[in-house]
Amino acid sequence: MQRAAWLVHRTLEFKDKQECYPDATRTGIWLQENLAKMFNLARIPKHNCDILSPIAPISDPSAQSITVVVNDWFYSLRVYEPQSTTKNPVLCRPEVILTRLHAIVNDARTRPGTAPPIGVLSSDDRDSWASNLDHLFSLSQKNRDTHRAIVSSVMSLSLDSETYTILSNSLSTLPPPSRTTQQGLDSHLHFIRSVPSNVSNRFFDKPYTLIVDPSGRAGIMGEHSFCDALIPSMVAEFSIVQGVDQDFISSQSQSQPLSVSGWARLDWEIDFEISSACEKARTNAVKLIENSDNSVLWFEHYGSDWIKGQAELSPDAYVQIALQLAWYRTRGTFTATYETALTRMFDKGRTETIRTLSTDSRAFVLAMDDSLVNTESKYVLLKRAIQTHTRLTREAATGRGIDRHLLGLQNMLRGGERAELFDDVLFSRSQEWRLSTSGLSAGHFFRGTGFGAAYEDGYGINYLVAPEMVKFGIESKNSSPYTSTERFKIAIFRAMTDIQSICSANLKPSSKL
């Protein structure tokens, strides 16, 4: 609870101050626009198409609170206090947040019965969740008020009741990570992504949920409709870069006053239909969880310092070409590959697609395992592939990509209208992103990141390129006979090692003394 209170306070400090990126800069404006989409709102399930709720104004009491979920019970915890001398409410001190957290946890532990696991309904398919939410609204005004309070709240905090640990994978042939264990990395990843025991201790419609377990292990889960992953990752990195203040820890007594104000229950009224829906949603969620083959790879042989300094290549393009090589070696074919490009230089800019699979990346991959191609030729092909990828990245970031334009044209078609291009089989196949990828910042303080595979027989890969290492978060599906996260980790490790060997064999000796 101490760590949760501290991280909540740090998160809201970033939200309120944004001192690192003032609004006088283009980056600051872009950051403010996107941060505004991350707090005090939620995704609302609707039939056929969801909507985003309007951003709740700070004058709304719900907008001055966070949603806390403990043992599947929902609560509101006020994190801002009104001030007579200032126009806007002021962020509470972390010790005030902690005192209220203690009161909430004590209430959740001592109240009779078990909570209705409403949170798991938000994990279900969107049309089912829309129907169940409509039914909840029809049962009572209290349910409408509870949902509105959750939607309008600043963010969500889930306090889990167990420290989840997976069995060690002793069969891995990869070198173990330093400073931690593979078991520790993957246990952390799984508990954040949800396991059967905590899947209803969530509200998946909030864009930013902080999750903390009894050991103090923490992470965030994001809903991706509002803004791009770089935004919550920046907030999270700010939150954890400063550890819990020791003065704050030492000042907190183990026994907290329980009769405190500033928090309230957010209860639901349910019937047999909702209870049945919760059981069905849990069954569906457990199937998804059990089908998810996800893990973290710490590649520690080198990082961006060597790629930029010695090889003089773009780190992002370098990693992308390594992923192409890893895919081909495990599948014997090529696939459309998605990489996210930010279009932040444009007003309200979101993303464009960088298509990693190109004629040049394909040529390099085919040459890598061809014994008739010498090392020098492979190096020439590598540099050409990386130059092409760098050009495609620049084009996507400056509005000269193709996918968002084509999506816009598709959406302009009226009922009954057709365009020959969009009926073309090649066009459809070119958007089957069996390799869905995205890079974030260096993530010095992150154990890993990740997202799901877009296709049943594909991979979802998020990576963090740090100066001395690269961290990969990889997900595939157990149900597919064509994929294996462990096998792909080995392929990435080998690809990164082999490409370095090609570079090292062709780099000129340094002229520096």
Tell me the catalytic residues: 224
Place of tokens 């954040």: 192
Rounded Cα distance between 67 and 74, Å, is 7
DSSP single-letter state for residue 54? P
399 torsion bin: left (phi>0), alpha (psi -120 to 50), beta (else): left
Give the sign of the dihedral formed by CA 227, CA 231, CA 236, CA 239: negative
Q: What are phi and psi of 45, to 5 degrees?
A: -70, 130
Burial class (CB in 10 A: 0-12, 13-18, 19+), 423: exposed
Burial class (CB in 10 A: 0-12, 13-18, 19+), 241: exposed
CB proximity list for 132: less than 8 A, separation 6 or greater: 121, 124, 274, 277, 281
CA angle 255, 259, 265 (to 5 degrees): 110
Q: SS3 string of 360-388?
A: HHHHHHHHHCCCCCCHHHHHHHHHHHHHH
Cβ distance 335 to 434 under 8 Å? yes
Cβ distance 46 to 133 under 8 Å? no
CA angle 391, 392, 396 (to 5 degrees): 120
How far is the CA of 317 from the CAs of 97, 223, 352, 363, in angstroms?
A: 44, 27, 16, 15
Rounded Cα distance between 376 and 502, Å, is 8
